[in-house]
Every structure is written in structure tokens, then in C-alpha cells.
Structure 1
């Protein structure tokens, strides 16, 4: 799925993708491609883990703010209901 989105992002057609694959085969050979794919996969995994960590840090740091806002909303609701 990510690959399809990436290809659409670059606006590549089928012919361009085939040419890229052929150039990669010519440059690295059949034996080098699994190594390249493994390295690329590890890089993508590390990037995803890093972004997940950043998202978690942001969520954790804003959870206190969210709780405070919820408390204030509850207080305002109580005040409105009193009147």
C-alpha cells in the first residue's frame, strides 16, 4: 500500500517503474537486490518507530492540558446549570 502511494506521489507510470527496476538490476545485480531491500526495510521501520515515538511524546505532553480543559468545561457546565 505504501509503495502504491509512493509511486502515485511521484506520478510514475508503469514504463518508468520498469525502467527503474531494470537500472537497479543492472547496477546491483540479482544478488544485491535482497540486501538493498533488507536495508531499505530496516530504514523504513526505524523511521516509522521514530515517528511513532514522537507522536507518543506529543500525546503524553498534551494529555495534562486535555484533562485541564475537560475540567474547565465541566466547571462551566455546572455554572451554567446553576443559573
Structure 2
């Protein structure tokens, strides 16, 4: 896409102003801000639910196996 210079940004701003008019731009920006805020809220709620689920999983006691013996992770080292 390349680097945008001052002239390119000015041209884009003029085109947007001509297409939408001076009154519609604040309404458009307000709607855009609401959309970004809603997206961030949804993202944060999903992140919170995932973290709570992981914490819940980590805090659960080990489940017994079919033979009634609790399984624990052990590591052995050989001399």
C-alpha cells in the first residue's frame, strides 16, 4: 500500500467531505466509535470467560480413574 503523504490524506479528506457532507461525518464517527466500543466489550467478555474457564479447570481436584486410583502426574529420573 505504501506510505501516505500529506497530499494523499488531504485528497481523501476532501473526497469524504464531498461524498458525506459536513453534517453526516460527526454522525458517522459517532457510530464508528460505538461499534469499536461494542467490539472491545465483546472481546473483553470472551477473554474473561476463557480465563475463568481455565482457572476453573486448574482448580478442580484430580478425577479418579476407572480402577479407583487417583491419577497424578509424576516424573522419574534415571541415574
Quickly name the TM-score band, shorter chain normalised.
Answer: 0.5 to 0.7
Give the TM-score normalised by structure 1. 0.60
- List alignment gaps of at least 5 residues for structure 1: 1-9, 69-75, 77-83
From the superposition, tell whether residues 20 and 66 of structure 1 become closer, same or farther in structure 2 (CA, over 3 Å).
farther
Give the TM-score normalised by structure 2. 0.63
| Structure richer in helix, relative to its length | 1
Cα distance in 2 between the residues matched to 1:60 and 1:29: 47
Match for 1:29 among 21, 25, 34?
21
User: Matches of residues 1-83 of structure 1 in structure 2 within 5 Å?
Assistant: 11-67=3-59
Q: RMSD value over aligned CA atoms?
A: 2.3
Query: 1:11 offset after TM fit, Å?
Result: 4.9
- List alignment gaps of at least 5 residues for structure 2: 61-72, 74-79
Q: Which has the larger radius of gyration?
A: 2
Report how many residues are paired: 61
From the superposition, tell whether residues 60 and 13 of structure 1 become closer, same or farther in structure 2 (CA, over 3 Å).
farther
